[in-house]
Amino acid sequence: MIKNTIRTFVSRLFAAPVPKEKRQVYSQAQHKIDRRLVSRNAIKVCEVLQQKGYDAFIVGGAVRDLVLGYEPKDFDVATNATPEEIRPLFRRARIIGRRFQLVHVVFGQEIIETSTFRAPSQGDQHTDADGRILNDNVFGTQQEDAARRDFTLNALYYDPVNETVIDYHNGVADLKNHLVRMIGDPEKRFREDPVRMLRAVRFASKLNGTIEPGTQAPIRSLAGLIKNVPDSRLFDEILKLLTCGNAIAALQQLRKEGLHENVLPLIDQVLAQPGGEQFVQLTLERTDQRVRAGKSVSPSFLFAALLWRLVDVNWKKNLARKEHTVPALSQAADLVIDNHINKLAIQRRHTADMREIWFMQPRFERRIPKQIWRMTEQPRFRAACDFLQLRAACHEFDSVLAQWWMDLADAPPAERTEMIEALTAEQQGTPAAAPRKRRKRRSNPRKSSTGGSPSSGGAPSTPPQAS
């Protein structure tokens, strides 16, 4: 750590001025970023660091989205302050990471990830046999930090205080042209971090753009390096790909580059099943619609849908062997999850939710009032109804019945009660709104006609009319 601090001080002291032609500065009138879309907490982090004499900028995907006019989901900050210098400046801040040390500054539910400017590889970083960097905590200048970022459209620095954007690699121009271009030698950069190949596909799909030919050239030959990526990072990147807002294009690009074999190997198996292509396409189309509408996407639901065709095929095989419905489905689910959970790095909490969604499907077949009430109390009831809509759209389930279940899921409690009572009356063959008849009390001939028994507390009986 002392070695890094000394390097940072020396780089600041002797840093050569950046040639003007390599450093473009865009004013607010040029980049047109709407400051109202910027997190107030990210602005505060930059203001605090700048007040203490440090440089501080919003970086990464947030700047990319802001230039395009979108509201970012997450905000990262880059600064020339070291993690040890950043942490004392904020009440709730902690240093995290081994390979890439940074600071999480916490504001309630929002975390502003704050990193120190990094220097490009000088050949002394720890790497594995394939060239993947295992330790990346060599601090540097802003220009060096820009050079070590992956793509030009991610090497933009936004100062929310004076509202300028600093660009070292023509990233603004590439962004406006929807072009994904690697900074530096693509093959070397992909070897340093194979996830960059997936990021190239995701950015091109999200922007509805293209990968620059030189950047695209080595991807197919290096696709096998994806196997070296830790499971947790791979799962996060797969999820980002499928929720980029243009998942179908991303999947097509993955297959084109040969990346799907190490990222989503199940896709080929799913597409080979009867109706598999239709189910996957419909799932991704509806996912894209939710993303574009600013709605959240459940990873459990998404992977339950992608794996359903494999589960369904095995379920039907088990049923053909005269096994009971629920045990047959349970065995099919176990088989598919055991075969794919490690390849997809799906967390166990997601697989538990996937099972709930799958196991509720047979229960939709029979509308038994007592069971319906129990189903509505299940945490994944709404997700299971959405899943049922997918099945109905693919002609697996009666669409009218599927709509009844969706109406029930959307109804407030009082309306749910009315729907279930109406169903009960329909099944019993009685009118739904028929009033209940009150049984008349039979008069007791032993008692006086002038009143009821005092001990019974009953009302006096009505005397007979005179003829």
Which residues are marked as active site?
A: 74, 76, 150
Cβ atoms within 10 Å, residue 461: 15
Return the amino acid letter for 257: E
Give the 3-state DSSP-derived string for 66-89, with helices as H, strands as E and coil as C.
Answer: HHHCCCCCCCEEEECCCHHHHHHH
**Which CA distances in Å does 441 have to 18, 437, 444, 450, 460?**
101, 12, 9, 16, 12
Q: Tokens 């793509």 identify what position?
A: 151
Report how far residue 381's alpha carbon sits from residue 372's, in angstroms, rounded to the nearest whole number. 10
Cβ atoms within 10 Å, residue 51: 11
Of the candidates 334, 366, 367, the residue with the CA atom closest to the CA atom of residue 351: 334
Of the candidates 234, 230, 262, 264, the residue with the CA atom closest to the CA atom of residue 247: 264
Report how far residue 136's alpha carbon sits from residue 115's, in angstroms, rounded to the nearest whole number. 12
Rounded to the nearest angstrom, the gap between the alpha carbon of residue 53 and the centroid of all alpha carbons in its chain is: 37
